[in-house]
Amino acid sequence: MKVRASHCRRVIVLGILTATLSYLSTSAEATLRTVAIGTQQRVTNRPANPNGAVFVAEYHHIRSGKNDMFRSADNFRRDLEQFYAMGFRPVLASEYLANRINIPSGALPLVMTFDDAVPSQLQLTPTGQPTPDCAIGIWQDFARRHPDFPVRATLFVLPDSMWGPKRDVKRKIDLLKRLGCELENHTITHPKLKKLTDDKVMEELGKAEDRLASNGQSGPHSLALPYGISPKNANILKGFDWHGNRITFTGVFLVGANPAPSPNSPKFNRYRVPRIMAISGPYGIDFWLKKLSQGQVKPYVQP
């Protein structure tokens, strides 16, 4: 009996020891796994801040040039790297305006806007792919390596430009649609709206809506004011009748020059949304990214 009892005790002790060791190793693994998953899921360790500022970047030409309308292809590539490393993830202007910001926890929303439908934003190879040096091609290449930074561009287009040769317009619009981009209103002739009569303002905006619709992009759209200049009668931006239809805008974007309020903030005014020009000078994107890294901007952080 003694032998059997001591054998039993040994078996029980061994059993407890094994169970304890196995519990310890399982719980340690679980802890490690949680940390690993946690690190993967949370893009930055910034605390949630759904009331913080939103960066709305504004691009024109993606090629070398002398003034603020140009951002070289290399600088655009560097911008994407920097946005990504700082925890930004792209959202459309329409998502920002509707307060439907769907990015991973800890990420900062970034609205990428492109004005004027100039050729360097989108060119196609003979097989219909974006060329490697146009904005969409550069971003697509980046997104292949960073699938959590997909091509989600908001393009404020001029219907008579549409990135160059007319023969490619349909293929380009189809491609943008497939990628999940959106086309929005930037008038027809890019006038200073302040200088026009109310009727002419409505014509610029209404005709641009018609052209977007004829390209398969039905509204309501957002609007980027040419030069950021409002019409004398700013009430037109809140809605007007156009050939029997009511035209309204989901939001109106300016040209400069600071981060935009969160859609949750009392300061949010959808008819005056500031943007940040993609320039290296004062109040441009480099300026504001530096402020952000120095803790002088409290950004929107996804909960």
Separation of first and last alpha carbons in the chain: 64
The contacts of residue 275 (CB under 8 Å, 6+ apart) are: 56, 57, 58, 113, 224, 253, 254, 255, 256, 257, 260
Question: Closer CB to Zn ion, residue 95 or residue 116?
Answer: 116
- The candidate with the shortest Cα–Cα distance to 110, out of 230, 255, 276, is 276
Q: Which residues contact Zn ion by CB under 5 A?
A: 115-116
Q: Which residue is nearest to Zn ion (CB)?
A: 115
Instruction: Give the amino acid at 174.
Output: D
Question: Closer CB to Zn ion, residue 59 or residue 96?
Answer: 59
The contacts of residue 271 (CB under 8 Å, 6+ apart) are: 234, 237, 238, 249, 251, 252
Question: Closer CB to Zn ion, residue 79 or residue 115?
Answer: 115
Q: Could you tell me if 103 and 109 are in contact, meaning their C-beta atoms sit under 8 angstroms apart?
A: yes
Phi/psi zone of residue 99: left (φ > 0), alpha (ψ -120 to 50 degrees), beta? left
Min CB(104)–Zn ion separation in Å: 32
Question: Closer CB to Zn ion, residue 43 or residue 254?
Answer: 254
Question: Closer CB to Zn ion, residue 205 or residue 301?
Answer: 205
Min CB(171)–Zn ion separation in Å: 23
Min CB(186)–Zn ion separation in Å: 6
Element (H, E) at 202: helix 198-214
Min CB(220)–Zn ion separation in Å: 20
Question: Closer CB to Zn ion, residue 116 or residue 204?
Answer: 116
Question: Closer CB to Zn ion, residue 101 or residue 205?
Answer: 205
Min CB(138)–Zn ion separation in Å: 21
Q: How many CB atoms lie within 10 A of CB 203?
A: 16
Question: Closer CB to Zn ion, residue 61 or residue 172?
Answer: 61
Q: How many residues does the chain have?
A: 303
CA gyration radius, the chain = 26
Min CB(134)–Zn ion separation in Å: 18
Min CB(141)–Zn ion separation in Å: 26
- The beta strand positions in 98-172, using DSSP E, are 108-115, 154-157
Residue entry with tokens 């920097």: 82
Min CB(115)–Zn ion separation in Å: 4
- The beta strand positions in the chain, using DSSP E, are 55-59, 88-91, 108-115, 154-157, 182-185, 221-224, 240-242, 245-247, 249-257, 273-277
